[in-house]
Amino acid sequence: MARYAARRLLAMIPTMLVMLFIVVSLTRFLPGNIIDLMLTGSSAQVTPAMRAQVSERLGLNKSLPQQYGEYVLGVSHGDLGNSLWDGRSVSTMVIDRASVTGEVAAVAILVSVLISIPLGVISAVKQDSPLDYGLRSMSIAGISLPNFVVAQAIVVLPALWWQTAIPFQYKSFLEDPVINMTIVLPAAGVLGLRLSASIARMMRTTMLDIMQQDYIRTAKSKGLTSFTVIVRHGLKNALIPVVTLLGLQLSALIGGSVVTESLFALPGIGRLLLDAITARDYPIIQGVVVSVGFFVMITNLAVDLSYGFLDPRIRYS
Amino acid sequence: MARETAISTGNARGVDRKNRGFLHELWKFVSRKPFGAFGAAMTLLLVVTAIFAPVIAHFDPLATDQTSVLLPPGADHLAGTDQFGRDVFSRLVYGARVSLFVGLGASFLALIPGIVIGIMSAYFRGLFDYIVQRVVDAVQAIPGIILLIAIMVVLGGSLVNVIIALALPRAISSSRVMRGSTMQISNSEYVTAARALGADDARIMIRHILPNIVSPIIVIVSLGFGEFILAEATLSFLGYGIQPPAPSWGGMLSVEGRAYMFAAPWLLWGPAIALSLVVFGVNMFGDALRDVLDPRLRGTR
C-alpha cells in the first residue's frame, strides 16, 4: 500500500513537468506579443524600460529552456513567482483564497451527497415506478441546466419575487457564520445541484446492479428488514463508484467555482483568476492553473488509495 | 408453383412491412427512449433554426432602434427588445447559428488530431506513447473552464479563437479513448494477418484500425457537441468568448441580461431557456446514440 502510494506519487512528477511546460509556453507559443497585450490598458506611457522590466519579470528575456528550468525550480520549492503589479507572492495569494473555494466545494459535496444518495437509492428500489421516472427526469434536467443560468436565477428571482437580495459581502465563517452561510450556501447549492444529479444517476445504476446480487438475496431470505438489506448490504457496496465520481467531478467543481465566485462575489481561487486576467497579471494566472492542477492530481491519487479502505477486497500491486 | 406464390407474397409483404417499418421503428424509438427522441427533436430544431435564421428572424440581430428600447415581449417583438432596441428573438435565432457553428467547428477541429494522436500512440507505444499520455494527464488535471480562459486570454476573444481554444484540449484528451480502442484492435488477428501480408504501418492504421473505431468516435463527437455549446456560453458569459454585439446566448445573459435583470427580466428568460433546452436536448440525443452504438460506455457519465 505505502509502496503503491509512493510509486504513484513519483509517477506524478513527469505529468507535473508537462503541465508546467504547457503553462510556461502559453506565454510564448501562442500568437501575439504578450507584453503588448499586458500593457494595453495601463494608463502610463509605455516606455522601453517598462517593457524590459515586464519581460524580465515574466522571464521572457531568457531562453525557453532557461525560463522553464527556473519556473520548475521555483515550483518545486513552493514558489509560484510574484504578482507583476504589486509584487506579492502568488503562492501566498493562492493559499489565502483556497480556503473560500475549499469551503464552497466542501459544502457543495455535502449538499450533493445528502440529496443524491437517498434519491438514487429510492429510484433504484422503486425501479420503473412514476417516482423513479420523476426523479430521473429531475436529475437529467439538473445535469443540463448550465451553472451560470442557475446561479443567475438564484440572484434574480428572490429580488423579483420578494424584493430581497443576497448580501454580497463575504465574511469568513469565523467572523460571521450567518452572513458566511447566506452566501456560501447558494453558491454551494448551484455547484451541488449539478453534482447531485450525476451522483444520483450513478447511485441508481449501481444499486440496481447490486440488488440483484446473490448476497442480497441471502440477506433477504435470512429475514432481515428491507431497510437493513438496502442500507447495510446494498448501499455500503454502492459507495465506491460514488467516491470515484466525486473525485472525477472535483475538477468540474473547481471549474464551476469560477462562475459562482464571480456571480456571488466570493473571494476564492476562481475570483483570483478572473481578477488576475483583468489586470493581465500573468504570474497569478499561471500560479492558479498550476496549483489547481496539482490539487486535482493529488485528490485523484487519494481517491484511488481510498478504495482499499472502502473495500478491503481491493489490493494494490 | 405454390412455392413461387408463397415467395412472391412473402416479398410483397416484405416491401409493405418496410414502408410501415420506418414509422414503426420511429415509434419504437420514441416510446423506448423518450428523452433521446426529445433530444433528437431539439438538435434538429437547433440545426433548422441556424440554417434558416434569416427567414425566421424578422429583424437584423445587430440593428439598434432608439424608439423601441427595453420593450416587453409582444406581437412585434416576440421576446421583447434590449437596451439598444435590438429584437431579442432575432438575436436568439442568430445565437443558434453561433452555438451550432461552435459545436460543429470545435468537434471537427478536435477530431482529426485526436484520432491521429490516439492511433499513433497506441500503435507505436514506447516513448512517444509515454509522453502523449503525460500530456493527456496534465491537460485533464486542469479544470476545463480554467484552461479555456487561460487560452482565450492569450488568443483574444473571437468566434474562431473560441473554436480553437475548445478544440485544442479536446483533441488531446479524446485521443486517450481512441488509443484504448486502437489497442484492443491492434492485437486482433486481422491486423497480424495484414502485417504478415506486408501491409505498411500507414495502411494498417488507415484501412484496418480506423474503420473499427468509428463508434467511439461518433460517441465522442456527439457528447462533445453539447459540452462545446455549454462551454462557449460560459466563456461568453464571463466575457472571454464571443464579443458583443455578436449574438451569443451566454453573452446575452451577461451583457444585456445582468445589466437590466430587474427592469427587463425577459432579457434573461430567452437565452436561459434556449441554452438549457439545447444543452439538454443535445446531451440526451448523445446519450441515446451512445446506448445504441456503444453499450459498453453506458452510464459512464
Q: Write the CATH number for B230.
A: 1.10.3720.10
Residues on chain A touching B299 (C-beta within 8 angstroms): 201-202, 205
Rg (CA), chain B: 24
Confidence grade of residue B31 (pLDDT, cut at 50, 70, 90): confident
Best mutation target, B128, B145, B261, to test chain A (most A CBs within 10 A):
B145
Residue B64 has pLDDT above 50, yes or no: yes
Residue A242 has pLDDT above 70, yes or no: yes
Tell me which residue of A236, A228, A235 sits closest to A121, measured CA to CA. Answer: A235
Distance from CA of A224 to the nearest CA of B (A): 31
Residue A93 has pLDDT above 90, yes or no: yes
Q: Which residue of B has its CA nearest to A287?
A: B150
Question: Cβ of B153 and A277 within 8 Å?
Answer: yes
| Number of domains chain B is built from | 1
Residue B234 has pLDDT above 50, yes or no: yes
pLDDT of residue A137: 80
Report how far residue B48's alpha carbon sits from residue B37's, in angstroms, rounded to the nearest whole number: 16
Best mutation target, A12, A17, A18, to test chain B (most B CBs within 10 A):
A18
In a domain, B174, yes or no: yes
Instruction: Determine contact, residues A20/A75, Cβ cutoff 8 Å.
Output: yes
The predicted model gives B199-213 an average pLDDT of 87
Residue B2 has pLDDT above 60, yes or no: no
Residues across chain B: 301
Q: Which of A32, A258, A296 sits opposite B154 (nearest CB)?
A: A32
Percentage of residues in chain A having pLDDT higher than 70: 93
**CB burial class (10 A; 0-12, 13-18, 19+) of residue B228?**
buried
In a domain, B218, yes or no: yes
pLDDT tens for A132-154 read 888 888 887 777 788 888 888 88
pLDDT tens for B128-144 read 999 999 999 999 888 88
Question: Cβ of B265 and A273 within 8 Å?
Answer: no
* pLDDT top residue among B241 and A50: B241
pLDDT of residue A244: 81
pLDDT of residue B301: 41
**For chain B, first and last CA: distance in Å?**
58
> CA-based angle A249:A251:A254, to the nearest 5?
110
The winner for highest mean pLDDT among A4-13, A34-43, A164-173, B255-264 is A4-13
Q: Which of A22, A160, A254 sits opposite B143 (nearest CB)?
A: A254
Domain parsing of chain A, residue ranges = 2-76, 94-310
Percentage of residues in chain A having pLDDT higher than 90: 18
pLDDT of residue B153: 82
Q: Which residue of B has its CA nearest to A299?
A: B141
Confidence grade of residue B6 (pLDDT, cut at 50, 70, 90): very low
Report how far residue A175's alpha carbon sits from residue A99's, in angstroms, rounded to the nearest whole number: 14
Residues on chain A touching B265 (C-beta within 8 angstroms): 156, 160
The mean predicted confidence, pLDDT, of chain B is: 83
Q: Which residue of A has its CA nearest to B151?
A: A26
What cell does B98 get?
453561433
Instruction: Determine contact, residues B102/B166, Cβ cutoff 8 Å.
Output: yes
Q: What is the pTM of this model?
A: 0.83
pLDDT tens for A160-215 read 777 777 667 788 888 888 888 888 888 998 999 888 888 888 888 888 888 888 88
Residues on chain B touching A26 (C-beta within 8 angstroms): 150-151, 154
Residue B300 has pLDDT above 50, yes or no: no
Q: Say what the ipTM of the complex is.
A: 0.82
Residues 6+ apart with CB under 8 A from B44: none
Residues on chain B touching A34 (C-beta within 8 angstroms): 154
Residue B212 has pLDDT above 80, yes or no: yes
Report how far residue A284's alpha carbon sits from residue A296's, in angstroms, rounded to the nearest whole number: 18
In a domain, B4, yes or no: no
pLDDT of residue A203: 87
Percentage of residues in chain B having pLDDT higher than 90: 26
Report how far residue B163's alpha carbon sits from residue B103's, in angstroms, rounded to the nearest whole number: 8
Report how far residue A32's alpha carbon sits from residue A280's, in angstroms, rounded to the nearest whole number: 14
Confidence grade of residue A30 (pLDDT, cut at 50, 70, 90): low
Residues on chain B touching A287 (C-beta within 8 angstroms): none
What is A94-310's CATH superfamily?
MetI-like (1.10.3720.10)
Distance from CA of B265 to the nearest CA of A (A): 8
pLDDT of residue B130: 92
Question: Cβ of B238 and A198 within 8 Å?
Answer: no
In a domain, B246, yes or no: yes
pLDDT of residue A33: 63
The predicted model gives A120-134 an average pLDDT of 85
**What domain range is B272 assigned to?**
33-297
Question: Cβ of A202 and B134 within 8 Å?
Answer: no
Percentage of residues in chain B having pLDDT higher than 70: 90
pLDDT tens for A290-312 read 999 999 999 888 888 887 777 77
* Residue given cell 494595453 in the structure block: A40
Distance from CA of B251 to the nearest CA of A (A): 11
Report how far residue B285's alpha carbon sits from residue B33's, in angstroms, rounded to the nearest whole number: 10
pLDDT tens for A274-285 read 988 887 788 898
pLDDT of residue A317: 60
Beta strands in chain A, from DSSP E residues, in sequence order: none
